[in-house]
Structure formats: C-alpha cells, structure tokens
Copies of this chain bind each other. A is one copy, B any other.
Amino acid sequence: MSIQGLKIVTIGGGSSYTPELVEGFIKRYDELPVRELWLVDIPEGEEKLNIVGELAKRMVKKAGVPMDIRLTLDRRKALEGADFVTTQFRVGRLEARMKDEKIPLKYGVIGQETNGPGGLFKGLRTIPVILDIIKDMKELCPDAWLINFTNPAGMVTEAVLRYGNYKKVVGLCNVPIGMRMGVAKLLGVDARRVHIDFAGLNHMVFGVNIYVDGNNMTEELIDRLTSGEASGITMRNIVDLGWEPGFLKGLKILPCPYHRYYFQTSKMLAEEMEAAKTVGTRAEVVKKLEDELFELYKDPNLDIKPPQLEKRGGAYYSDAACSLITSIYNDKRDIQPVNTQNNGAIASIPNESAVEVNCVITKEGPKPIAVGDLPVAVRGLVQQIKSFERVAAEAAVTGDYNTALVAMTINPLVPSDTIAKQILDEMLEAHKEYLPQFF
C-alpha cells in the first residue's frame, strides 16, 4: 500500500456494475481509504468506460471523499503498484453470452453460463485472459490481491491457483449473500441475525446449517420452504420452480438457486426454451437492462448509483466485494463465504482445489473453516462439477480439442457425447475469435 492510501484496479471497469462498487468504496471510506480507483477496459469498451467513469467521478464528488477515479485502456500502467485488483470483465461481451446460451438450446441443452456448456466456453475465453493478467500482476504488483467476480468464478479461481500458480486470489459471488437475505426474509428476521454454514463450489454451494442468533434452524427453515407458504429462496436471474418437499426434507441442507439446473434439469430446460421464444434468453434480457442502465448513467445530473441497477441480478454484489476488501485490509477476521483453496475444509475435494466455503478473512487472505464433509447425497454432484471445472480449465490452457470434448461430455447438463460434440463444434466456430488457443 502506498503511503497515501490504497490503489485499487478494476479490470472491466466499464461494466454496468461499477457504480455499485464505487458506492461501496464511498460508504466504507473511513475504514478503507481508497485513494485511487483505476477503471481499466479494452478499446472496444472505451465508450462505456467513459460513461461509467464520469458517473463514478460525479458520485465521488457528491460524497466528498478524496478518491481519485482514473480511466485507462492501459492495463499494465494501471496494475503498477496496485493493492487490490478486481476483475469483472466479459470476453466477447453480452453477444458472446447470448451464444453461450442459445447454441446449446438448439440441441435441447441448457446453456448455463457458469457451470454448464455456456460456462465451459466462458471459461475457455476468460481463463487465458486472467492468466495473462496474473502474469502482469506477478511483475507489476506481486503483493496485490486478485478479487475475481468474472464468471465462471469457481473455474477461474481453480485456474489461477493451478495454472497461474498465484495464491493471492479470491473468487467472489453474490449467491451466498443472496441466500442469506432470502432466508432472513423467509423467516422474517433481520439478515444480520442469520448465519449460514456455506460449503460447496461456486454456483454449487449449499447452506449446510442455517442459524438465527446462533440457534440451528435448518430443519425449521426446510419445513417452511416446503410447506407451500413460501416461494423459496431464489435469485432474480433464476426462475423459481420450487422444490419437491420430500426431496428437500431428505436432503436436510439448503441448495442454492443454481442447483435447480441439476436437480430440476428438465423443468429448467422447458422454462428456458419457453423464455427463449418469448422474453429471450437471460443474456438478451440483461442486454436490454444494460442498455437502459447506460442510458441512465449518461445523465450528467445522476450522481448516485441508480436504484434500477439492482434489477440487473447483481444485488449485494458491492456489499460482498467491498466487505471482502475491507476485511483483508483491516485484518478483520470476520467470516465470509468466498472461493479459495480448500486446504482440507471439505473432505472429498482435493486440498489444492478451489471451493466456496465460509472463511475467516485475514490480512493474509481467507482461511477456510473446516466442514468435514458434505452430506453423502450431494457429494457426487459437487465432485462432478469440480471434475468439470478442472477438465475445462485444462482445456482452456492447452487448447486441446479432445479435452474440451471431455469437459463438455461430463457436464451433467449434456445428455451425450455426440450432442456434446455438436455443441462444442458449433460453439468453437462461433467464438473462434476469442479462442486462439484452439485454432
């Protein structure tokens, strides 16, 4: 940290999420003195970067904090001497995500942009870029923490640990905080009274125990969830299909919204196919929302985060990100669920793999709390997604076609090796420009 305060670099700074992040830093300025916030983007994103950057400057000015907002297309310059680097970029932008979702659907397969076939391609596009950033960081800011929000966050964290050989990385997701908020709402209590033992993988995380004021309420919560009176805990971007009461009662733990893709595959597929015909895929919906947001951002009179942003699907995002950075910076030793090296916390996952688990957040990073093992019933699925993440990361690094085909085939959403090949081939072609390692 430089003497004057922290230097934070946000790669993909032109993202529509940025105002939340800026708001988060402003709110916490007293304990987290960010003196420079560098927003970095690529030439294709320059226009958005400027729009968002100007809004950020207005927000900072209004708040009256001495935070310097810097806009640049020069990533290496930005990284120099950084204390924290956050990554929230999207290789190929929403257009690529649309393909991630639409191409699989043509073959009757859910695209699922993180742990599904779409996620495989998002990983193939993203991992080489992240590893490139890591290479720069090792040179320009070797002590900086990488806080990654870029999806697929689990696969990316795995790749940074395993292939980037960089340990100061944390993967972040708003699913856990969303589950906590949802539980609080369902039980009618303040979210601060709710604690959840999270364990699993990114977008494959379970609430193993749910507490209110430290009292274990897991069973009561599941009773509520399955009693019909509550619509369940879900997220804006995943349609709520409910759970079979007996299934949840038998499981005895709380799945995350993304589990619906795996435990309700056929229902989710039907829903997505229907949506594709009507409202469009999630990417298309998001695209429209984003366009509207940027219209708002352009308004020179806007100097706060506009409330419409919360519809975007990134709720609690800023809270999670800024909380994490604040706790690292201040060695707070509070508990947050993040993606980090397992280190024995979850028994059946290799020690060196990335998991999403409650951690004590220290100046030396997250220290996972040991959970022993996940319930037998879910251990297989979790392992399967970990297998998928690892093979996908290997394919991203090697550019090997067969490895990519294995990753696609073993994904639980993909119903055969032949369909896997068809989707793979069409998607490789469609994303060609972002996948030099395969061509």
Contacts and interface: CB of A to CB of B under 8 A. Distances in A.
A86 to B, nearest CB: 20
Identical copies in the complex: 4
Nearest to A425: B246
A230 interface: no
A50 interface: no
B412 A364 contact: no
Contacts of A243: 417
A279 interface: no
A250 B405 CA distance: 7
A380 B410 contact: yes
A408 to B, nearest CB: 9
B214 A244 contact: no
Range, interface on chain A: 35 or more
A237 interface: no
Given A380-B384, A402-B247, A344 B372 contact: yes
Interface in A349-390: 351, 360, 362-364, 367-373, 376-381, 383-388, 390
Given A344-B344, A384-B381, A417-B263, A369 B372 contact: no
Contacts of A368: 369-370
A402 B250 contact: yes
Given A370-B368, A387-B377, A264 B195 contact: no
A434 interface: no
Given A331-B214, A364-B216, A372 B400 contact: no
A369 B367 contact: yes
A189 B395 CA distance: 35
Contacts of A362: 195, 211, 214
Contact of A211 (B211, B363, B401): B363
A215 interface: yes
A416 interface: yes
Given A249-B402, A402-B247, A388 B380 contact: yes
A285 interface: no
Nearest to A410: B377
A409 B343 contact: no
A328 to B, nearest CB: 9
Interface string A265-287: 11100000000000000000000
A343 B370 contact: yes
A322 to B, nearest CB: 18
A333 B333 CA distance: 10
A214 B412 CA distance: 36
A146 B415 CA distance: 37
Contact of A370 (B215, B246, B345, B378): B345
Contacts of A410: 263, 377-378, 380-381
A187 interface: no
A347 interface: yes
Contact of A372 (B331, B351, B379, B419): B351
29 contacts: A195-B331, A211-B331, A211-B364, A213-B331, A214-B363, A244-B417, A244-B418, A246-B421, A247-B402, A250-B405, A250-B406, A251-B406, A264-B416, A265-B415, A267-B416, A344-B344, A345-B370, A348-B348, A351-B372, A368-B370, A369-B370, A376-B390, A376-B391, A378-B410, A379-B386, A380-B385, A380-B386, A381-B384, A412-B412
Given A244-B418, A348-B348, A380-B388, 19 more contacts: A211-B331, A214-B330, A247-B405, A247-B421, A250-B406, A263-B410, A263-B416, A266-B415, A344-B345, A344-B347, A344-B370, A348-B383, A360-B369, A367-B370, A368-B370, A377-B407, A377-B410, A379-B387, A383-B383
